[in-house]
Structure 1
């Protein structure tokens, strides 16, 4: 059972994505991450096998970021010769250096960051470029530089679409209202306050990428209930959702996730 026949539009962006995307933070960073257990970053052979498995399962969407250690650089090397088979979402605004995050949403940094991501990913265009919010969503949007710069980079053909990965419903909603093509929202069994962002997206042709659909590995229910099935049923129960991004380096978990989504949507 695969996702190949279940691709869906990312809003009105013209991009078709698999309903399940693979988050790649674990390919490049294992410090300062909110997962329930420590993990080892996979070597190139393991990472290549993971990506091959994802492609066989029908996953075409990869999520990365400059803040994910050397994830972008590794993907650039591992995807040589198959770039056209993938939709790559990256980010701007957050840098992770020396175990500490710092944020810069200025026009100059936004441009430098995108140019660097293009080089690391060995590509001429990034499919989806998201603002990596520090939590001050409204302040980021109101100062205006980052989204205005991303709109200019889209017009220049360096990115295909842009969006906002915020920490609040107010921020993600405002980003969509201001012209972002998509938003990345937190939506899971424990956190559903961004439901109105999904409603707005469905009505206005905007894309929605769901992060933390499995609560970063912490999803749980009462005894006898399957958290995987329940989590994906919630996420895909809303017509506004384009895809759920789930990070894993475990091939068995990747297969379970893909099969659960395929069974739900077929």
Structure 2
């Protein structure tokens, strides 16, 4: 299956499946809609989803300290399968349910990494990423966060350094030479960082994609919420649906195939609190779609 094809994660020895799993929704209220639509699942359902992800053959799980119960649930339900997945987490934005807070100081980052190791029930996290907040320039300027991550790397607690960012901050991260992997927001609906995806490829930096399905807007789940979209997004999705003769299921195919054909994309993080949705993403990626249709989709968005 295309979604289970592996791509090298930057210059590392890791081989990540093209479809990865974003573990935000299994730990924190999030998503398209309201009420129960955005509530995180029960413990049992979260465990079922995580094990289903691995059963399907997906080998990358991305979480964060700020995803509330996510790290703990990963440790609780799939720590015993640790050899089956690349584990990525984030530091800098910290959980204080129901909220989060930012602290990028040296000791805060060291403590956060130790806490993540404990919750995830592992002795090493494969990829630790900076979870930037409102003042990313300051974080890079003072260097404490990177220094703490490098020290944790020397101690064998993390293997690769990454950053979840975009725009000018992402470019600074690339130019710094400090990072093995960048996580970028990129999709048919938002291509402003496309040049950065390609620059990462040129520099041998792995690329994880967040928002590749437009936070649910490039899936059938968007249909009941069309009237709540901003005019620009509404126009783009309407144009895509017209291209697809109204078949909202094929939005997923179109969105994922757009990303799949970019060799600089390592893995697309598709999150869900429903195991059936994860399986459906893999299946939709398999459907045939003409390259010219992808070109048209780019043109209308």
TM-based fold match above 0.5: yes
Deviations 1:196-242 (A, max 9, x none): 21111111110000000011111232325232122112222222110
In the alignment, is residue 173 of structure 1 matched against residue 192 of structure 2?
A: no
Q: Aligned match of 2:33 in 30, 33, 36? A: 36
Aligned-pair CA distance for 1:13: 2.0
Aligned-pair CA distance for 1:104: 0.8
Superposed, which structure 2 residues align to 1:17-96 within 5 Å?
A: 17-30=16-29, 33-37=30-34, 38-96=37-95
- Within 1, Cα distance between the matches of 2:274 and 2:73? 17
- Within 1, Cα distance between the matches of 2:46 and 2:96? 23
- Within 2, Cα distance between the matches of 1:2 and 1:205? 22
- Within 2, Cα distance between the matches of 1:145 and 1:228? 40
Structure 1 residues 262 and 149: alpha-carbon distance in aligned structure 2, compared to 1, 3 A threshold? farther
Q: Aligned match of 2:242 in 198, 201, 223? A: 223
RMSD: 1.9
2:25 alignment partner, SS class = helix
Aligned-pair CA distance for 1:176: 2.2
2:79 alignment partner, SS class = coil
Could you say which structure has the higher helix fraction? 2
Aligned-pair CA distance for 1:100: 2.7
Aligned-pair CA distance for 1:2: 7.0
User: Which residue of the partner structure matches residue 294 of structure 2?
Assistant: none
Report the more deviating stretch, 204-213 or 129-138.
129-138
Aligned-pair CA distance for 1:56: 2.5
Q: TM-score, normalised by structure 1?
A: 0.91
Deviations 1:24-51 (A, max 9, x none): 1122211xx3533433432333223222
Aligned-pair CA distance for 1:3: 4.3
- Within 2, Cα distance between the matches of 1:26 and 1:34? 7
1:129 alignment partner, SS class = strand
Which residues of structure 2 form unaligned runs of 5+? Answer: 219-236, 245-249, 290-301
1:140 alignment partner, SS class = helix
Structure 1 residues 244 and 76: alpha-carbon distance in aligned structure 2, compared to 1, 3 A threshold? same
User: Which residue of the partner structure matches residue 115 of structure 1?
Assistant: 114
1:248 alignment partner, SS class = coil
Which residues of structure 1 form unaligned runs of 5+? Answer: none
Aligned-pair CA distance for 1:262: 4.9
User: Which residue of the partner structure matches residue 233 of structure 1?
Assistant: 257
Does the CA contact (< 8 Å) of 1:93 and 1:132 recur in 2?
A: yes
Aligned-pair CA distance for 1:146: 0.7
Q: TM-score, normalised by structure 2?
A: 0.81
Larger Rg: 2
In the alignment, is residue 194 of structure 1 matched against residue 193 of structure 2?
A: yes
1:232 alignment partner, SS class = helix
